[in-house]
């Protein structure tokens, strides 16, 4: 009698795209997440160079959907831009995010933030920045071999990976790109573009007015020459 062997059934592992929690707890936290994420997109526009995401689940271990984090903003050098429902590291040349940002809210607990720190340290993050907009407090950690070391002075610190500079003013955090461009909110970017548009329009109007005045001067000169010729004056020798 021949015993038939039933093939093992492969169970598909589901990696959830959402945990049902909101992206941010308040408008201030959300504004900072958007500002950092979108300005980094502007800083690294090439589609093949750097993948940047906000509040996207990162799964570092294939087959284990329970091991995950969703950084407020994460930056991955060496991976192309594009749509992703989550960041499955084994499908991304096994490259972990090198830089992550977390924006604190009153709802964040010490236990939660400790868990995140341990996760980022274990799974290869090189730079970890935590900003509390309510307290205007910025902290940073930098990888040293297999662990993080605290960056002692964040005011004026320049990110090794991103090249951006952090400056703490009495009221807020300012982030400046390597080209000297300050990170702005979408509204501030729109206002700046409108100011530039108005300045260009004003310059164009001024140029048109100058050309119009020059044309009038030319016409007056031609009229004067015509009158002099009518009086028999040789204008060629004037």
171 phi/psi in degrees, rounded to 5: -110, -25
**pLDDT class of 21 with cuts at 50, 70, 90:** confident
Q: Is the pLDDT reported for residue 213 higher than 90? A: no
The model's pLDDT over 44-88, given as tens digits with 9 standing for 90+, comes to 998 789 999 999 999 999 999 999 999 999 999 999 999 999 999
CB environment 2-14: b (16+ within 10 A), e (fewer)? eeeeeeeeeeeee
Q: Is the pLDDT reported for residue 91 higher than 70? A: yes
Number of H helices, E strands in the chain: 3, 10
Mean pLDDT of the chain: 89
Q: Model pTM?
A: 0.78
**Looking at residue 223, what is its pLDDT?**
82
For residue 131 the two structure tokens come to: 């900003």
225 contacts: CB under 8 Å, gap ≥ 6: 235
The model's pLDDT over 125-166, given as tens digits with 9 standing for 90+, comes to 999 999 999 999 999 999 999 999 999 999 999 999 999 999
């Amino acid at each position: 009698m021949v015993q038939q062997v039933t093939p093992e059934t492969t169970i598909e592992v589901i990696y959830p795209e959402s945990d049902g929690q909101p992206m941010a707890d308040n408008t201030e936290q959300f504004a900072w997440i958007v500002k950092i994420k979108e300005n980094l997109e502007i800083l690294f526009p090439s589609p093949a160079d750097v993948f940047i995401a906000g509040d996207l689940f990162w799964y570092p271990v294939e087959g284990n959907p329970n091991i995950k984090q969703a950084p407020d903003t994460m930056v991955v050098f060496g991976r192309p831009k594009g749509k992703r429902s989550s960041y499955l590291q084994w499908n991304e040349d096994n490259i972990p995010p090198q830089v992550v940002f977390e924006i604190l809210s009153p709802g964040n607990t010490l236990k939660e933030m400790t868990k995140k720190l341990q996760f980022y340290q274990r799974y290869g993050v090189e730079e970890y920045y935590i900003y509390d907009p309510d307290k205007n407090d910025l902290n940073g950690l930098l990888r040293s071999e297999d662990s993080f070391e605290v960056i002692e002075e964040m005011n004026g610190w320049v990110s090794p990976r991103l090249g951006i500079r952090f400056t703490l003013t009495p009221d807020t955090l300012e982030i400046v790109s390597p080209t000297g461009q300050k990170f702005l909110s979408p509204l501030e970017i729109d206002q700046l573009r409108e100011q530039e548009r108005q300045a260009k329009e004003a310059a164009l109007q001024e140029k048109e007015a100058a050309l119009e005045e020059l044309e009038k001067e030319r016409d007056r000169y031609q009229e004067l020459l015509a009158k002099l010729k009518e009086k028999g004056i040789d204008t060629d020798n004037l």
